[in-house]
Amino acid sequence: MTAWLGTPGIVCALGSGVDAVARAAFAGDTAGMRAQTGWVEGRALTLGACAGALPPLPAGLPLHHHSRNNQLLLAAATQIETHLRRAVARYGADRVAVVLGTSTSGVNDNAPAFRHLRAQGAWPDTYDYRRQALSSPASCFADWLGATGPAYTLSTACTSSARALLSAHRLLKLGLCDAVVCGGADTLCRLTINGFATLEAVDEALCVPFSANRRGINIGEAGVLFLMERSPADANAVALLGGGASSDAWHMSAPDPTGAGARQAMLAALQSADVDAAGIGWLNLHGTGTPHNDAMESHATHAVFPQGVPCASTKPLTGHALGAAGALEAALTWITLSAANAGGRLLPHIWDGQPDPALPALELSTPAHRYAQGRPRLAMSNSFAFGGNNASLIFGGQP
């Protein structure tokens, strides 16, 4: 079944709103990736933070919903609020579902309470565990929108919001709802940033995925929301044609070096969408910039696309938004497929131009690349996560 994604609401290091994000992304603008101190003791790290103030949550929502993570969702939601509320009015509140992905939820907002506990031996009066509960994004958003259909949050590390889109597609296919608000949010969080730093997986400078000089990831934050329906909601709507997922469980934090799990997810996505690999015009790579992930994905991509395919990692533009990355990269893929992109431009791969001779060569896209004329615009977006959790989505532009 084909599902349709209307114009996304999006806030990330590239900017706020699909038009601003598109302009910066096509220009390869990395200005939102800035060196910051205060997250890891004694180090300055390049991070992808959302600039500017975020909208406060309405006072009527319970206090435990008040977190930066949920503010990111609200910032994205207000951009498409008319479409969201129109869907509730059209289908009925009980026929609108909410499926979101996250990995941090409100953990960073509760961090001061943990410091208070360590210093004082008791929780402060303001502490509420529900602020950091993984269920918080979906329950907060459903309360805000007044949607009473299925509402849940998925947390599968860096595939969370990609799997949220897959789950939303499944809900529509099963007839359990008529529209799904789907996407995800993740906030810059001291816990996760220090965790990746401890794994020696971060690059203090701008990351350079697939380069021989790659050293690790830049972490970012984002909030992204789509309205998914069975028919196009607006003139720029993009089709979610299918998707695939796998769990190879190779290692707790390292990918299978052969790329077997990633390859399985990509092939399952092609089968689900009923398209051939040769029909894909652009591949949005997971491309974190770590030695192991990029090597694995290079092998998987070469196996699935032996004829080659224009591809790019967008993480030097946004940082790795973890649980929000799948939805963020779906939105960037949406931008390339939207009718507003009349020239069929592809997003450029930002790096130092130094390929790793130990890896299969990839056709990394440049500002000169375009979707092939006279053929349907089809794109794939990959998301891979700790524990061997893999997801791949296939999108198509309107004829």
pLDDT at 387: 80
Tell me if residue 158 falls in helix, strand or coil.
Answer: strand
The model's confidence at residue 252, banded by pLDDT at 50, 70 and 90, is confident
In whole angstroms, give the CA distance from residue 202 to residue 219. 8
Burial 355-393 (b: 16+ CB within 10 A, else e): bbeebeebbbbeeebbbeeeebbbbbbbbbbbbbbbbbb
**DSSP conformation class of 131:** G
Catalytic residue, candidates 64, 65, 83, 320: 320
The model's confidence at residue 248, banded by pLDDT at 50, 70 and 90, is confident
The model's confidence at residue 235, banded by pLDDT at 50, 70 and 90, is confident
Catalytic residue, candidates 286, 299, 349, 369: 286
pLDDT at 257: 85
**Catalytic residue check, 286:** yes
The model's confidence at residue 256, banded by pLDDT at 50, 70 and 90, is confident
Tell me if residue 236 falls in helix, strand or coil.
Answer: coil
Structural domain boundaries enclosing 303? 3-396
pLDDT above 90 (res 140): yes
pLDDT above 80 (res 170): yes
- What CATH number is attached to the domain comprising 168? 3.40.47.10
Q: What is the pTM assigned to this prediction?
A: 0.97
Number of domains in the chain: 1
Catalytic residue, candidates 50, 158, 177, 207: 158
The model's confidence at residue 251, banded by pLDDT at 50, 70 and 90, is confident
pLDDT at 398: 79
pLDDT above 90 (res 268): yes
Backbone angles phi, psi at 222, to 5 degrees: -170, 155
Q: Which residues pair with 390 in a beta bridge?
A: 246, 384
**Catalytic residue check, 369:** no
**Catalytic residue check, 64:** no
pLDDT at 315: 98
